[in-house]
Amino acid sequence: MENIRRVLSVIVLNEDGVLSRISGLFAGRGYNIDSLTVAPVPNTNLSRLTIVTSGNQRVLEQIVKQLHKLIPTYKVIESAEFVEKEMALVKIPLNEDFNGLDAMLKAYNGTIANSGENFIVVMVADDSKRVDNFLKAIKKYNPIEMVRGGSVALDV
């Protein structure tokens, strides 16, 4: 069976240990986590996890069912229609020639987030695939450090 990438939004009770229940479930049953982000849902006792995972159809079905089975799980959203964005930060030395950087940042919903004595930090927010491309393209400015945030998603 074919390997499919899947974005899952998991709404859980915001209580002690809930993240370890989820990550333990994935580790214990041998499921993949490509990325995982978590933050509280405003004005509730809930948290939203966005998990990017992959597997064949049977495995993905089991992942959703096993997530549902956890007692603190409120909802698992597996809609195929998501707006999905990921953020990345890149630190670039100031001695580089920044010719074309502005245009590149614009193309990836990016901006200069900070500028110091020795380096600048740029940020972009875009689809995961496009963030991949950006991080490849930005290499020509010899970045010192890069960090990406993992996907967040909302179903539409």
Residues that bind another protein (CB under 8 A): 12-13, 16-17, 20-21, 24, 28, 58, 61-62, 65-66, 68-69, 71-74
In the bound complex, what is the minimum distance in angstroms from residue 8's beta carbon to another protein?
A: 15
Query: Cα–Cα distance between 146 and 141 in angstroms, integer?
Result: 12
Per the DSSP assignment, residues forming a β-bridge with 36 are: 51
Q: Which residues of 63-97 are buried (b: 16+ CB within 10 A; e: fewer)?
A: bbebbeebebbeebbbeeebebbbbbbbbbeeeee
Question: Two tokens at 143?
Answer: 């970045």
Closer to another protein by CB, 24 or 100: give it.
24
Token readout for 147 is 């960090």
If the CB atoms of residues 42 and 116 are measured against another protein, the closer one turns out to be 42
Smaller CB distance to another protein: residue 48 or 85? Answer: 48
Decide whether 61 or 145 has the Cβ nearer to another protein. Answer: 61
CB of 67 to another protein, least distance (A): 9
Cβ-proximal residues to 34 (8 Å cutoff; 6+ apart), any chain: 5, 52, 53, 54
- In the complex, least distance from residue 79 CB atom to another protein, rounded to whole angstroms: 19
* Closest distance to another protein from the beta carbon of 50 (Å): 18
